[in-house]
């Protein structure tokens, strides 16, 4: 297993009497693609800026390869940052933009020329040395910003919502480019986004954040299939989040109907949150499932139909490759393995922290 390259221990940060990070602990392994994911104001960009040295934590320490770098300036850290606003110099051509950091380091002209060619080839922009910044598309400017960071041979590349300004097709193309670059270069990537699809597509590890706390950390598959609380379930993909009553181990009641499940350890007759993904809801003929309902809404999404089914006084979201027209009477079935049980938070503070940590 790769050792931790970056470690944050007990990091807190407050702006204008608002605590943005609260005793945050985080470990990032070498050659990992880690994504900090969450809504605006959750603390993800502040975390990135603290790693990069652009913000100082109020409390806590930042370690790089075991060395305390909490007080080190950004240019004294073996990492580079790519921002959403690419910060290219408009008065310089592409080669001059890429060479900027190398010139400051006093590298030779031949070294710089080789590095420029190498970086442009990596980002599939060979021959763009003499082009002006203004002549480039948004996606090309983003690639140049990445090339400028790469030539400095950082151990870590920090990316703060770098694809946010691009259109959907360019964003998707750049996601594949970033994965390719990470694999070719062996650099550790720390990526900030609020886009769940980006996070699921690119990451080795996703850190879901809310209100300055880590809600859950794991592989994309773990985060999607085994969310630890209702916030994560709701933020990552679509979910049906239902008030349930855990009658005993492996048995939960919803809408007065008993559903077998596989979760244990919640006690008896305990209120819980029940999370069921829309693709895990099976629609059967009336009388064949656990709960009767009627289809109230239908949209064709290309790969599946998205339906809303009114059952038990709740509007279920259902994704299926089978079409059930509006007004169709159906019966709902859910496999026990596809029912996720979560402890209900007892307060807003407990909800922010994440009750299952």
Cα separations (Å) of 165 from 85, 98, 122?
Answer: 8, 21, 22
CB 346 within 8 A of CB 218: no
Asked whether residue 104 carries a pLDDT value surpassing 80, the answer given is yes
Instruction: List pLDDT tens digits, range 36-59.
Output: 999 988 999 999 999 999 999 999
> pLDDT of 166-194, one tens digit each?
777 778 887 888 888 888 888 899 999 98
Q: Is the pLDDT of residue 2 over 70?
A: no
Strand, helix or coil for residue 276: strand
Is the pLDDT at 107 greater than 90? The verdict is no
How far is CA 124 from each of CA 144, 147, 178, 187, 313, rounded to the nearest angstrom?
Answer: 10, 10, 12, 18, 54
pLDDT of 355 reads 47
- The tens digit of pLDDT for each residue in 69-96 reads 999 999 888 888 887 666 788 888 999 8
Q: What was the pLDDT predicted at 310?
A: 97
pLDDT at 352 exceeding the cut of 90: no
Three-state DSSP at 98 gives: helix
4-225 and 282-333: same fold? no
Q: At what angle do helices 168-185 and 138-150 cross, to 10 degrees?
A: 20
Q: 118-151, pLDDT tens digit by residue?
A: 888 888 888 888 888 888 887 788 888 888 888 8
Of 2 and 325, the one with more pLDDT: 325
| Interval 270-281: pLDDT, tens | 999 999 999 999
Handedness of CA 209, 210, 214, 218 (dihedral sign): negative
Rounded distance between C-alpha atoms, residue 74 and residue 270, angstroms: 50
**Residue ranges of domains in the chain:** 4-225, 238-277+334-357, 282-333
pLDDT of residue 86: 63
What's the residue count for the chain? 357
> Quick one: pLDDT at residue 180?
84
Q: What CATH number labels 282-333?
A: 2.40.50.140
Virtual torsion, Cα 3, 5, 11, 13, nearest 10 deg? -150
Residue 56 tokens, joined: 């100082």
Tens digit of each residue's pLDDT (9 = 90 or more) over 219-262: 999 999 889 898 999 899 889 999 999 999 999 999 999 999 99
CATH topology of domain 4-225: Rossmann fold (3.40.50)
DSSP-H helix ranges across the chain: 44-52, 94-104, 109-122, 138-150, 168-185, 196-202, 220-225, 230-235, 348-353
């Amino acid at each position: 297993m790769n050792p931790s390259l970056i470690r944050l221990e007990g990091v807190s940060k407050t702006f204008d009497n608002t605590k943005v990070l609260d005793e945050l602990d985080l470990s990032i392994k070498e050659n990992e693609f880690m994504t900090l994911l969450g809504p605006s104001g959750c603390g993800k960009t502040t975390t990135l800026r603290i790693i990069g040295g652009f913000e100082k934590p109020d409390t806590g320490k930042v370690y790089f390869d075991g060395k305390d770098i909490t007080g080190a300036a950004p240019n004294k850290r073996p990492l580079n940052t790519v921002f959403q606003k690419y910060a290219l110099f408009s008065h310089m051509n592409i080669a001059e933009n890429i060479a900027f950091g190398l010139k400051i380091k006093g590298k030779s002209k031949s070294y710089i020329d080789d590095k420029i060619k190498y970086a442009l080839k990596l980002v599939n922009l060979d021959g763009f040395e003499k082009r002006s910044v203004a002549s480039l598309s948004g996606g090309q400017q983003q690639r140049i910003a990445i090339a400028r960071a790469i030539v400095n041979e950082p151990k870590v590349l920090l990316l703060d919502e770098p694809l946010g300004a691009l259109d959907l097709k360019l964003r998707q193309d750049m996601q594949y480019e970033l994965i390719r670059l990470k694999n070719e270069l062996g650099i550790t990537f720390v990526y900030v986004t609020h886009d769940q699809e980006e996070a699921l597509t690119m990451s080795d590890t996703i850190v879901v954040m809310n209100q300055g706390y880590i809600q859950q950390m794991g592989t994309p598959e773990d985060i999607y299939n085994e969310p630890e609380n209702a916030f994560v379930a709701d933020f990552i993909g679509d979910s049906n989040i239902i008030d349930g009553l855990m009658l005993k181990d492996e048995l939960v009641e919803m809408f007065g109907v008993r559903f077998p499940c596989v979760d244990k350890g919640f006690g008896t007759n305990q209120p819980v949150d029940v999370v069921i993904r829309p693709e895990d809801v099976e629609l059967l003929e009336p009388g064949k499932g656990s709960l009767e309902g009627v289809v109230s809404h239908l949209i064709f999404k290309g790969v599946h139909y998205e339906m809303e089914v009114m059952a038990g006084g709740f509007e279920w979201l259902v994704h299926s490759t089978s079409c059930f027209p509006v007004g169709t009477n159906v019966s709902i079935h859910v496999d026990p393995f596809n029912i996720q049980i979560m402890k209900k938070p007892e307060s807003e503070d407990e909800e922010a922290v994440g009750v299952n940590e």
